[in-house]
Structure 1
Amino acid sequence: MLDAAILVGGSSSRMGSDKALLDRCGRPAAVDLHHVLVEVGFDNVTLIGGDGSRFADHSVIHRVDTRPHQGPLGGILTALEATRSEWVLILAVDLPGVSKVDIEKMVEARRQHPFADIIHASSSDGPQPLFGWWRRSTAQTIDRALSMDRRSVRSVVGSLRTEHVEFESAVLRNANRPEDLG
């Protein structure tokens, strides 16, 4: 069984509009990523964070963060607590360069690294743990970090057994401002 969670929380203040609703292939970005993940073969795809009413017109599952205002770690924890699978593919909605081929590459990578806690994307620009597989058991580490008011994804990643999968920098470039889209 393949589970994925698309992180759609965050205020998108630098973008000036909701990143999850930005156009991607004629659909809201979150909805398009959902369709791509289903096309790849994911059984359960959940949008995590923010107000779910944004997606009321679409056939998607949405969960509110169980730990609101905790940044991406809160969203990851919500996804891990909601799954019955050993692994969840985490994907931030603000990575417009991620394609079906890239997701398929990550599916294959999970098979190659059975002992890792996290298998995340990386490029010459550095790691991108918001496109990667997170083992359900990492929820304990995340919960502990959040309980101590530590919200750094990279700090949590650094404390776990981690493997990375190399991608071109353009695939992993965040879209934080309108000019990042073009």
Structure 2
Amino acid sequence: MSQNTVAGIILAGGRSRRMGQDKAALDFEGVTMLTRIAATVSQRCAPVLVAAPETSQAYRELSKESDLEWVTDEKEGSGPLGGLVAALRAAAEVGADAAFVCATDMPLIEVGLIDELVAGLTDSTDAVIARDAQRDHPMAGVYRTSAVGALEALVDAGELRMGAAIDAIHTRRVTVSDENWLTNVDAPEDLHRLRATGVS
């Protein structure tokens, strides 16, 4: 697949309960986490879309300071799956065949992750998601925009789990070459650990 048909989607609508503050706006090596992730994603993907409702802290704090394209029309209370559906629809509207999707709390992603996932996409595959030695990472994946109908049906039925989404479509798992790419920053101790180890 030609990579110029791949949009980028950053899911930034979470409430960050464990962190205690919005993760998208957290400082990581001198820039916000969202800025860092978007800079990486934009090297391979266009446009880069940020999915977050207007009521989210990420949108309130960052949308006016960012030149990223924000998608705010996800179904209320539908979680990351709802954000994915809304952003996939927006990606389809600009002609993207697929979109690389990641969460806003994955500051160590690199273009190699995008390349490996895109390389795994076949004509019969709806999604390619990253896997490490322990588990699947559905919020680090490449999703075809043509799968949005099936995913939207799940949201309309009240399904919130990303795991249910990847089970509902033809999904391929790819064990990535660097598990650091999949590091999540969910709580303050995660951020302190990354800063202390100097992993970047």
TM-score, normalised by the number of residues in structure 2: 0.82
1:29-178 matches, cutoff 5 A: 29-40=33-44, 42-51=45-54, 52-55=59-62, 56-84=64-92, 85-110=96-121, 113-167=122-176, 168-178=178-188
Determine the structure 1 residue equivalent to 2:11: 7
- Cα distance in 1 for partners of 2:181, 2:74 equals 29
- Cα distance in 1 for partners of 2:73, 2:160 equals 14
- Cα distance in 2 for partners of 1:151, 1:17 equals 22
Report the aligned-residue RMSD: 1.7
- Cα distance in 2 for partners of 1:106, 1:50 equals 27
Kindly provide the amino acid, as one letter, of the partner of residue 69 in structure 1: G
Query: What stretches of structure 1 of length at least 5 have no aligned partner?
Result: none
Structure 1 residue 83 displacement after superposition: 1.6
Q: 1:164 to 1:16 in 2, by over 3 A?
A: same
Contact 1:117–1:134 under 8 Å retained in 2: yes
Identity, % of aligned positions: 24
Structure 1 residue 127 displacement after superposition: 0.4
Structure 1 residue 130 displacement after superposition: 0.5
- Cα distance in 2 for partners of 1:93, 1:83 equals 18
Q: 1:172 to 1:146 in 2, by over 3 A?
A: same
Q: Secondary structure at the match of 2:128?
A: strand
Contact 1:65–1:74 under 8 Å retained in 2: no
Q: 1:66 to 1:7 in 2, by over 3 A?
A: same
Kindly provide the amino acid, as one letter, of the partner of residue 82 in structure 1: A
- Cα distance in 2 for partners of 1:63, 1:72 equals 12
